[in-house]
Amino acid sequence: MPPLDIVGTTPVLVVGSGEVVRGDLWLSNPTGADIKLTGARITVTLPSGPEAGDIPLPPEVVVPATGVRRMIVEMGMQPLTAPGTYAAALDLSTSAGDQTVAASMVVTEVVAAVIVPDRLVFTGVAASAVVDGSVVVRNEGNVPIVVGPIADEPLLEVRAHPRVLAIGTGGAMVVEPALGLAPTGTATFTNATPTIPPGGWSAVTFQLTAPAALASNAHLRALPRIGTERFAVDLLTV
């Protein structure tokens, strides 16, 4: 007989997201003597084979006689582990003998695109001009990123606007200029559409077409999106 009972459902559920695996289980001591937990280890069967790691424990973990204690499961995980449900086992070392607890590790889907640079500046842009640009997209998640067509985006003029900082006694206002955005047309895009595997990267080239009418000597900004991330494109007109 195992020295400890598991309260609740087995297999025990642990969840992996990003770089961390977390979960918990409740240990019940059915005996009349305290049981000390001296070590814990988790083993997960991944497509590449079994992976094992120690579970950190605080000193002097004791499940009291006829009592219950919660055990926290936390360990590092390779962030590129594919999403899915994997069989696992928790090996416990106790003062009353060793015990193995069945577990399931659920790895969540993580979509994480990093765009470099996150801001591009083009100067001398005229009405209806086509400008060529490129960003690098790195996939730091665990699922492929399929780069789709970049949608048309509002083109915003960056202007100085008055901003109320405070209202004093008697209603006096303190006003200073601050940057604001005013719509002034639409920027259209065409772009490369690579598929980027987890841990990989790719250059995404694009062409931006300016509207047929543009204010002169203006600072314009578009915020195009790749996946769930946006980057800034600033246009300085002639």
Q: Which residue, among 14, 8, 67, 16, has the nearest Cα to 37 in the 3D structure?
A: 67
Residues 223-236 have pLDDT tens digits of 999 999 999 999 99
The whole-number pLDDT of residue 159 equals 82
CATH of domain 5-107: 2.60.40.10
Question: Which three-class secondary structure state does DSSP give residue 98?
Answer: strand
The whole-number pLDDT of residue 181 equals 79
Distance, CA of 225 to CA of 232 (rounded, Å): 9
Distance, CA of 11 to CA of 100 (rounded, Å): 11
Q: CATH 2.60.40.10: which residues of the chain?
A: 5-107
113-237, what's its fold?
Immunoglobulin-like (2.60.40)
The angle subtended at Cα 199 by Cα 193 and Cα 203, nearest 5°, is 35
Backbone conformation region of residue 118, classed left if phi is above 0, alpha if psi is from -120 to 50, else beta: alpha
The whole-number pLDDT of residue 161 equals 67
DSSP state, residue 112:
-
Question: Which parts of the chain register pLDDT below 70?
Answer: 161-165, 175
Distance, CA of 118 to CA of 17 (rounded, Å): 25
The whole-number pLDDT of residue 183 equals 84
The answer to whether 208 touches 233, Cβ cutoff 8 Å, is yes
The whole-number pLDDT of residue 164 equals 66
Cα 170 to Cα 39, 164, 166, 167, 173: the distances in Å are 68, 15, 12, 8, 9
Kind plus residue range of the DSSP H or E element containing 31: none
Distance, CA of 160 to CA of 203 (rounded, Å): 34
The answer to whether 60 touches 68, Cβ cutoff 8 Å, is no
The whole-number pLDDT of residue 203 equals 98
